[in-house]
Chain A
Amino acid sequence: MLSFCALLIEIVKLARNGLLEALVLKYLKPLVGTFIWLVLLSHMPARAGSITEPDLELMIRSLGYVEQFSENSIDSLFVVFDPAIKRSVNEAKAIANSPSVAQSFESIFKITLSDFLENESVKLAFITSSVSDQSNKIYLHAKDSHVFTLSTDKDCVLSGACILSVTTKPALEIYLNERTLSDLGFDIDPVFKFMVKRVGRER
């Protein structure tokens, strides 16, 4: 905060005595220098994290733009996980314990991938990370059983197994696989479509 105030005072001092004009106005070099600094700054690494409550809030809000769910609300969320993969298990736990998920669905079921592939009553499935490695199987089952698949793993959407992926860290991003959306028989609000990253994969 102090450095911020000092910076402000220095700018004003420079402006008052005309130095700023001499420096900036005539030569523009400081502007170029600022940009070089900004470019360097932009290469600071971005942090990514595990599934968070804001991710799940974003997921629930996004579902409101699916035409089929806005007309007929859905009661149950199935969380597809792999018991052998720690990250997948942790994600499933996080979802099961999420207050916003609990508020939005009457029932939350954790289900293994093998059970999911045999279950035809699932209508909405959250695919945890790493499970999306089995993208082809997930896609085929989702298509046969008309399941809406979503994740916080972008790769799930890129592989075609998931229709939607959401994440808020390091920045808010929503990916939509339009081909999977269409293949699985769902529609989504056009305004929402215009505002998200749309991908598609030939299968």
Chain B
Amino acid sequence: MTIKHSRMSLFVMLIFLFALSLSAGATQINYTELEHLFKEPVTVSATGKPQRVSQSPVSMDIITHDDIRRSGAIDIPQILRRLAGIDVSRHYKGQSDVNIRGANQPLSNRMLVLVNNRQVYMDNFGMTLWHALPIHLYEIKQIEVVKGPNSALFGFNAASGVINIVTFNSQWDNISNVTLRGGTQSHASAAVVHTVKPTETMAVRLSVKGETSDGFSRASMMPQPTENDAIEQSAFNIDGVFNVNNISDLRFEIGESQQETDSTLPFHTPALLDTSTRHYKLDYSLKHHGLWQLQLYRNEADLEIHTLRFFSPGNNPPSKNALNVFQLSHLFSPAMEHTVRFGLEHRKNTIQGRDIAPEGGSFTMDVSRLSSMWHWQLSESWHMTQSYSADYWNTKRTGSFSLVEPVLSLNVNDYDRSESEYSYNFGLVYEYSPLTQYRFSAAKGLHVPSLMELARINSQPTLGTESYGNPTLETESNTTVEFGFRRKLSRHSMMLESSIYRQQIENVIAGTAYGFTSFSGIPIGGLGGSLSDFTFENVGDTYITGGELSLQNDRSQPFQWRINYSMVAHDDRENANPSHYVDFEETVPKHRVNVLLGYDWKQWEYNLDAHYVSSLKNYQATVGDPVVTRRQTQVDDYWILNASVGYNLNDRVRLSLDGFNLVDPHQERFSYTITGGSSVGGSNKIDSAVLFSISVDLD
């Protein structure tokens, strides 16, 4: 601990010395000011270069602070559902699976999620606990959604896309607010965000939030080993900026969150997740011959799982995951038509605990990467962007473990492994006119197996199961070719966007399960040490063909509308392994239609969003029985209708009545059966909810 702290202190001192030795220039990227200047959101998530969204070479959307505020949404998946190409499936009030352009599944892990460029995607299971993010929706400046692979810029796991949540910068944005909310399902939540400027060169924003709520329908919930509510959550975050001098800033973040919620784990396992996260971040920006950025952060996550499957109910010791990241980048223009970015990154990911090393020890993954980006303005109408990344990763296990009789032959040396990978992004943009843009892009993204997929060890002979990771898993890759089009219809203040794409996901990582060894077709579980096995394997490739069409009017109009349609078609080409839990052809809805309407009248704001999702099939979870089942059930197509009415009492106080899923209680994900004793079946239906909130802006 002492060594860790002294290293950190040394880093900070070096940063200060470097900064103080320079002079002349300006400071960090001011998103708010640039948005006012260009009359549209700006982003660095497309290529690493500051860009207007309308000029990015990738397909992307930005959800603004105002979109979030008007929506009345209580979590981010609810807002993401509005976008074309985003697949959102809600299991519980506190858990949703989100993926971009198909290939969605429980604990979707192909999409990287960041908050201010800090990874909040958790490497243990490869998941994002949206509800547990230690930020309040009110402090979000914008949510940047990049569709398609972007590993060349962000590294592993930006395989299907990236969501970067950008919060306000306390240096420029004085955000202070109190929000109280209550309603059906015994929902009660409170959040306070407050910005202070103790000195002229320093600004700090503090946010604290807490929430408690039942699930949508307790009667239909999976029986839990404890009597907890569906969600209990609390978090705080401190986000400060220190203006070192007129060319450099030091931004720091410290935060913590605690959450207890129902969740679905791999193999469609319902569970109660008890999660505790902490993070510490330093982000130093310098404007000197371009833009330099140095980012250091540490994420810690303790995860406690309670389920009737794989684990004994009761007090289980948590698995502990720690991620340390060092990132350095330099963006500059060597010549007028050229912009270049170089990046260097190292990350160390360690997990320990009962799920990884029941007899002590740990599993570690180190990743080093070099990346580059080159933007070339070929002419006034054409520009091209190329990004490349070379990644080197290695893994190591310490401590011993034992399994009774795994189907996969595991060798302890398999855990000491190193691999090299590469990824790229290529984008060519043709601006036919100031209003019309054509895009062509090709990209390869990488999804490295999660720590659990590689190294999980859980043997439960008394329950008749063994669950373990597979250290020989190959990295999954996503190669995408896309053609896009963007047209501003100035006469009607409308924007029309469209894209068609083809993706190939190679070496799909999936849970595989093997039943008891049998005699003449009769299972002999529990006899002779025979166990059912739950593990992970590369099960083949899937090809995805899809398209998106989106039309919207200018957001500054009193009457706002937006409509989009997404189509996605999978073609699974599996290898000869019949034991896997993946079937994208059937389990991902093919069609989605989203309609958003908004109207402002005097102090009133009316918002309505409707979503149509076509039917799908899904796997059926089994509880209380370790026998392998891969039965599928039909999930009918469904509508979601959300409506929000806001009344601005004055410039500072806003009252809001928000209704969710008002027309159609429906099932979005799995069905379940409980066997043993009396056999029970059912599904988790997403019910309606109505919440009332009061929001007060403070001075």
Determine if chain A interacts with chain B.
yes
Binding site for B on A (CB under 8 A): 4, 8, 11-12, 15-16, 20-21, 24-25, 28, 31, 34-35, 38-39, 41-44, 46-47, 58, 61-62, 64, 67, 70, 168-173, 178-179, 189-191, 193-195, 197-200
Bound-complex Cα distance A70 to B247 (A): 13
Given contacts A15-B593, A42-B485, contact A197 B377 (CB under 8 A): yes
Indicate which residue in A28, A35, A42 contacts B545 across the interface (CB closer than 8 Å).
Answer: A28
B612 to chain A, nearest CB (A): 6
Count contacts between A and B, CB distance < 8 Å.
Answer: 119
Contact indicator A11/B565 (Cβ below 8 Å): yes
Bound-complex Cα distance A200 to B337 (A): 9
Contact indicator B485/A38 (Cβ below 8 Å): yes
User: For chain B residues 570-606, which have a beta carbon within 8 Å of chain A?
Assistant: 590-591, 593, 595
Enumerate the 7 nearest inter-chain pairs by beta-carbon distance, A residue then B residue, closest first.
Answer: A171-B434, A42-B436, A61-B37, A15-B591, A170-B490, A25-B569, A194-B50
Among A31, A39, A195, the one with the most B-chain Cβ atoms within 10 Å of its Cβ is: A195
Residues from chain A with Cβ under 8 Å of B380 in the complex: 197, 199
B291 to chain A, nearest CB (A): 6
Contact indicator A58/B590 (Cβ below 8 Å): no
A146 to chain B, nearest CB (A): 18
B460 within 8 A of A: no
Indicate which residue in A8, A39, A44, A62 contacts B593 across the interface (CB closer than 8 Å).
Answer: A8
Contact indicator B331/A178 (Cβ below 8 Å): no
B26 within 8 A of A: yes
Bound-complex Cα distance A12 to B639 (A): 10
Bound-complex Cα distance A62 to B33 (A): 10
Contact indicator B331/A171 (Cβ below 8 Å): no
Sample (22) of A-B pairs whose CB atoms are under 8 Å apart = A4-B563, A12-B612, A15-B612, A25-B590, A38-B485, A38-B498, A39-B485, A41-B487, A41-B496, A42-B435, A42-B487, A58-B37, A62-B37, A172-B38, A173-B434, A178-B336, A179-B336, A191-B34, A193-B333, A194-B333, A195-B50, A200-B336
B173 within 8 A of A: no
User: For chain B residues 612-654, which have a beta carbon within 8 Å of chain A?
Assistant: 612, 614, 637
Bound-complex Cα distance A44 to B434 (A): 12
Given contacts A15-B612, A20-B591, A198-B336, contact A189 B26 (CB under 8 A): yes
Residues from chain A with Cβ under 8 Å of B39 in the complex: 168, 172
Q: In the complex, which range does the number of interface residues on chain B fall in?
A: 35 or more
B481 within 8 A of A: no
Bound-complex Cα distance A21 to B568 (A): 10
Given contacts A67-B26, A198-B337, contact A38 B487 (CB under 8 A): yes
Bound-complex Cα distance A47 to B438 (A): 19
Which chain A residue has the least Cβ–Cβ distance from B592? A15
Among A58, A70, A191, A199, the one with the most B-chain Cβ atoms within 10 Å of its Cβ is: A191
Binding site for A on B (CB under 8 A): 24-26, 29, 33-34, 36-40, 42, 49-52, 287, 290-291, 331, 333, 336-337, 339, 377, 380, 432-436, 438, 483, 485, 487-491, 496, 498, 500, 545, 547, 549, 561, 563, 565, 567, 569, 590-591, 593, 595, 612, 614, 637
Contact indicator A31/B26 (Cβ below 8 Å): no
Indicate which residue in A8, A12, A191, A198 contacts B291 across the interface (CB closer than 8 Å).
Answer: A191
Contact indicator B50/A170 (Cβ below 8 Å): no
Which chain B residue has the least Cβ–Cβ distance from A169? B490
Bound-complex Cα distance A198 to B39 (A): 19
Residues from chain B with Cβ under 8 Å of A4 in the complex: 561, 563
Contact indicator B561/A24 (Cβ below 8 Å): no
B120 to chain A, nearest CB (A): 25
Residues from chain B with Cβ under 8 Å of A15 in the complex: 591, 593, 612, 614, 637
Which chain B residue has the least Cβ–Cβ distance from A8? B595
Residues from chain A with Cβ under 8 Å of B614 in the complex: 15
Bound-complex Cα distance A58 to B127 (A): 43
Contact indicator B336/A195 (Cβ below 8 Å): no
Residues from chain A with Cβ under 8 Å of B488 in the complex: 170-171
B552 to chain A, nearest CB (A): 11
Bound-complex Cα distance A25 to B563 (A): 20
Contact indicator B498/A35 (Cβ below 8 Å): yes
Bound-complex Cα distance A195 to B49 (A): 8
Residues from chain A with Cβ under 8 Å of B612 in the complex: 12, 15
Bound-complex Cα distance A31 to B483 (A): 12
Contact indicator B496/A46 (Cβ below 8 Å): no
Contact indicator A35/B336 (Cβ below 8 Å): no
Which chain A residue has the least Cβ–Cβ distance from B38? A172
Indicate which residue in A21, A34, A190 contacts B290 across the interface (CB closer than 8 Å).
Answer: A190
Bound-complex Cα distance A25 to B496 (A): 22
Contact indicator B377/A35 (Cβ below 8 Å): no
Bound-complex Cα distance A194 to B330 (A): 13
Residues from chain A with Cβ under 8 Å of B569 in the complex: 25
Other CB < 8 Å A-B pairs besides A35-B485, A191-B29, 5 of them?
A8-B593, A31-B567, A46-B435, A190-B287, A193-B333
Residues from chain B with Cβ under 8 Å of A58 in the complex: 37
Bound-complex Cα distance A73 to B621 (A): 67
Residues from chain A with Cβ under 8 Å of B42 in the complex: 195
Which chain A residue has the least Cβ–Cβ distance from B337? A198
Bound-complex Cα distance A44 to B595 (A): 26
Residues from chain B with Cβ under 8 Å of A171 in the complex: 434-435, 488, 490
Bound-complex Cα distance A4 to B50 (A): 35
Residues from chain A with Cβ under 8 Å of B24 in the complex: 67
Bound-complex Cα distance A195 to B36 (A): 14
Residues from chain B with Cβ under 8 Å of A62 in the complex: 37
Bound-complex Cα distance A199 to B487 (A): 24
Bound-complex Cα distance A170 to B36 (A): 18
Bound-complex Cα distance A197 to B383 (A): 11
Bound-complex Cα distance A104 to B433 (A): 32
Bound-complex Cα distance A31 to B567 (A): 10
Among A25, A42, A58, the one with the most B-chain Cβ atoms within 10 Å of its Cβ is: A42
Contact indicator A70/B26 (Cβ below 8 Å): yes
Bound-complex Cα distance A169 to B435 (A): 10
Which chain B residue has the least Cβ–Cβ distance from A167? B434
Which chain A residue has the least Cβ–Cβ distance from B36? A61
Among B26, B491, B498, the one with the most A-chain Cβ atoms within 10 Å of its Cβ is: B26
Residues from chain A with Cβ under 8 Å of B487 in the complex: 38, 41-42
Contact indicator B52/A195 (Cβ below 8 Å): yes
Which chain A residue has the least Cβ–Cβ distance from B55? A195
Given contacts A12-B593, A12-B612, A195-B51, contact A47 B339 (CB under 8 A): no
Contact indicator A42/B432 (Cβ below 8 Å): yes
Contact indicator A34/B498 (Cβ below 8 Å): yes
Residues from chain A with Cβ under 8 Å of B291 in the complex: 190-191
Residues from chain B with Cβ under 8 Å of A178 in the complex: 336
Residues from chain A with Cβ under 8 Å of B496 in the complex: 38, 41
Among A4, A16, A61, A194, the one with the most B-chain Cβ atoms within 10 Å of its Cβ is: A194
Contact indicator B50/A46 (Cβ below 8 Å): no
Contact indicator B563/A46 (Cβ below 8 Å): no
Bound-complex Cα distance A199 to B380 (A): 9
Contact indicator A195/B34 (Cβ below 8 Å): yes
Residues from chain A with Cβ under 8 Å of B547 in the complex: 24, 31, 34
A45 to chain B, nearest CB (A): 8
Residues from chain B with Cβ under 8 Å of A35 in the complex: 483, 485, 498, 500
Bound-complex Cα distance A20 to B52 (A): 35
Which chain B residue has the least Cβ–Cβ distance from A170? B490
Residues from chain A with Cβ under 8 Å of B595 in the complex: 8
A203 to chain B, nearest CB (A): 14
Which chain A residue has the least Cβ–Cβ distance from B383? A197
Contact indicator B34/A11 (Cβ below 8 Å): no
